[in-house]
Amino acid sequence: MLNFSFVLTLFVLFFVSENALAVDKVFPGNSKYVEIISDDDTICKSMVQAQGYACEEHKVTTKDGYILSVQRIPVGRSGKTGNKPPVLLQHGIFVDAAPWLLNSPEESLGFILADNGFDVWLANTRGTKYSSGHTSLTPNDSAYWEWSWDELVHYDLSALVQYVNSETGQKLHYVGHSLGTLIALASFSQQDKLINLFRSAALLSPIAYLNQIQSQLTKDAAQLHIAEELYSLGYYEFPPAWDILGKILETICNEPDVNCSDIMTALTGPNCCVNTSKAGVLLKHEPQPTATKNIIHLSQMIRTGTIAMYDYGSEEENKRHYGDSKPPVYDMRNIPKELPLFLGYGGRDMLADVDDVKALLNDLKDHDKGELFRVYIEEYAHADFVLGVNASQVVYDPMISFFNLH
Ligand SMILES: *[C@@H]1O[C@H](CO)[C@@H](O)[C@H](O)[C@H]1NC(C)=O
Ligand SMILES: *[C@@H]1O[C@H](CO)[C@@H](O)[C@H](O)[C@H]1NC(C)=O
Ligand SMILES: *[C@@H]1O[C@H](CO)[C@@H](O)[C@H](O)[C@H]1NC(C)=O
Ligand SMILES: *[C@@H]1O[C@H](CO)[C@@H](O)[C@H](O)[C@H]1NC(C)=O
C-alpha cells in the first residue's frame, strides 16, 4: 500500500515477534519494547482521552451494510469551540486510525489538527478491528471479505464524507495516507457529486500508479500471484493466518534479490524519522486485516501499470460486472482542475515511489497552478509521513497553512 507497505510491514512485525524471531531485525535494538497486549479499549479511550482530549465514538453504515467506527476529536487542548472546519483522516492498508495518534500530541497529526482549530474525524476501514460490524454478515463469512478498494471508493468514502458533512453542516478537508490517497483520487476522478463536499485534500505518500514501485518484496508478492493463490484456496481475509504468513514470507525472502533482514525497510523504504521506541504501542493496534481481493486488486496495478477497477480475470466476468470486457479505468486526468490538492511525497518511499508520483503529477499537469501544492522531502520514506517525529515541521505545518487558505 501502499500504506500497503507499511501495513505489510506491521503485520510482518507482528509475525516476527509472535514467532520469537529477533524482532530487532525489524526495529534494530528495540526488541524489549515489543509486547503483545490485548486491547479491549476503544481508540477514544486508549489513545485520545488518555492524552486529555475530548473524543466521541460514531458509527457509520455503508450502503452495502458495513458498520464503520469513526472517532471525533471535536476540540483541541485550548478548549476553543465554535466554527471549526471538519477534517477527515483516512489511513492506509493494514492499519487503522491509531497511527495518527501514536506519537506525542505535538508530533501526531490527529492531535495537531485538533489543537489548530480543526474538528477532527478519524476513519477506520471496513475489516479493521473497530469496523468489523455489518448489518447481516460477520468476518467469519467469506462474503464479508468480498471487496477491494473499489468498494472503499464507492461505499466507505462516500458514507464517511456524507456523514461528517451532515453532522457538521460543513464541507470537509481530507487527509489520506497511502491507500487512503488512492481511494480519494479514484473518487475525484469520477467527478460525481461527492466532490462538492470536499474543501481540499492532502495526500501523503500518494498512491496512484504502482508499476514502478521500489519495494522488491511487494513487487515479488505481486509477480508471484500470492494473493490470487490464497483467494483460490478459499482464504478471503488477508493475512489468513500467521502460520500461512510465515510461509509467504519464507517464499519471498528466499528470492535472491530480497534482503529480509530489515523488513520494515524492504517494505516501505528506509524511514528516517520513525520513533522505534513506539513499536510496542504500534503492535497493540496493528497490523489489521484486509480483504485478499483488495491485495489482488493492488497486485493487478503493480503488474499492469493502470488504475482501473478490479479485473475479474475473464472477459465474460468483466462483461457481467462492467458491461465491458475490460475493467473501467479511473482516469486521473479527470480530477477537477480547481480542486485544492496538497501532495506530500518522499525521496525514499518505496511504495509511493518518486517515479510513480511523477506519473500522477503528469496527469495533473493542467491542474490550476494555485490549487496544487507539493511538498517533497528527500529523506522521508513511507511511514515517516504518519509516524515521523518531525513530520509536524516538514509536512503538517505547510499542510495546515494550505488548509487555512481554503
Ligand atoms: C467466528 O468464529 C470463531 C471461531 O469459530 C468464533 O469463536 C467467533 O465467535 C465467531 N465470530 C462471530 C462474530 O460469529
Ligand atoms: C542485508 O541487510 C543487512 C542490514 O542492512 C546487512 O547487514 C546485510 O549484509 C544484508 N545482506 C545481504 C545479503 O545483502
Ligand atoms: C520516542 O518515544 C519515546 C517513548 O514514548 C519518548 O520518550 C521519546 O521522547 C520519543 N522521541 C521523540 C524524538 O519523539
Ligand atoms: C528530521 O529528523 C531526522 C532525525 O532527527 C533528521 O535526520 C532529519 O534531517 C529531519 N528532517 C528534516 C527535514 O528536518
Going from the Cα of 389 to the center of ligand 4, the distance in angstroms, rounded, reads 8
CA–CA gap between residue 202 and residue 402 (Å, rounded): 9
* Structure confidence by residue, pLDDT tens digits, 98-140: 999 999 999 999 999 999 999 999 999 999 999 999 999 999 9
253 close to 226: Cβ distance less than 8 angstroms: no
Share of the chain above pLDDT 90, in %: 72
Nearest ligand 1 atom to alpha carbon 140: 1
Q: Give, using CA atoms, the residue closest to atom 5 of ligand 4.
A: 273
Ligand with an atom nearest the CA of residue 270:
2
* Structure confidence by residue, pLDDT tens digits, 143-177: 999 999 999 999 999 999 999 999 999 999 999 99
pLDDT for res 257: 75
Per residue, what are the HEC states of the chain?
Answer: CCHHHHHHHHHHHHHHHHCCCCHHHCCCCCHHHCCCCCCCCCHHHHHHHHHCCCCEEEEEECCCCEEEEEEEECCCCCCCCCCCCEEEEECCCCCCCHHHHCCCCCCCHHHHHHHCCCEEEEECCCCCHHHCEECCCCCCCHHHHCCCHHHHHHHHHHHHHHHHHHHHCCCEEEEEECHHHHHHHHHHHCCCHHHHHEEEEEEECCCCCCCCCCCHHHHHHHHCCHHHHHHHCCCCEECCCHHHHHHHHHHHHCCCCCCHHHHHHHHHCCCCCECHHHHHHHHHHCCCCEEHHHHHHHHHHHHHCCCECCCCCCHHHHHHHHCCCCCCECCHHHCCCCCCEEEEEECCCCCCCHHHHHHHHHHCCCCCHHHEEEEEECCCCCCHHHHECCHHHHHHHHHHHHHHHC
Ligand 2 pocket member 259 (CB < 6 A): yes
* Structure confidence by residue, pLDDT tens digits, 60-95: 999 999 999 999 999 998 777 778 999 999 999 989
Going from the Cα of 403 to the center of ligand 3, the distance in angstroms, rounded, reads 28
Q: Give, using CA atoms, the residue closest to atom 6 of ligand 1.
A: 140
Ligand with an atom nearest the CA of residue 346:
4
- What is the average pLDDT score of the chain? 88
Q: Higher-confidence residue: 58 or 275?
A: 58
Domain boundaries of the chain, sorted by first residue:
3-405
Going from the Cα of 271 to the center of ligand 3, the distance in angstroms, rounded, reads 16
Q: What average pLDDT does this structure show over 374-403?
A: 97
Question: Catalytic pick from 154, 297, 367, 382?
Answer: 382
Ligand with an atom nearest the CA of residue 137:
1
pLDDT for res 261: 61
Judged against a pLDDT cut of 60, whether residue 38 lies above it is answered with no
For the question of residue 392 being annotated catalytic, the response is no
pLDDT for res 356: 97
pLDDT-based confidence at residue 6 (cuts at 50, 70, 90): very low
pLDDT-based confidence at residue 252 (cuts at 50, 70, 90): confident
CA distances (Å), 212 to each of 108, 163, 361, in order? 30, 36, 14
For the question of residue 178 being annotated catalytic, the response is yes
- Residues lining ligand 4, Cβ inside 6 A: 272-273, 377, 379, 390, 394
CA–CA gap between residue 253 and residue 75 (Å, rounded): 46
For the question of residue 262 being annotated catalytic, the response is no
pLDDT-based confidence at residue 386 (cuts at 50, 70, 90): very high
Q: Give, using CA atoms, the residue closest to atom 4 of ligand 1.
A: 140
CATH for 3-405 is 3.40.50.1820
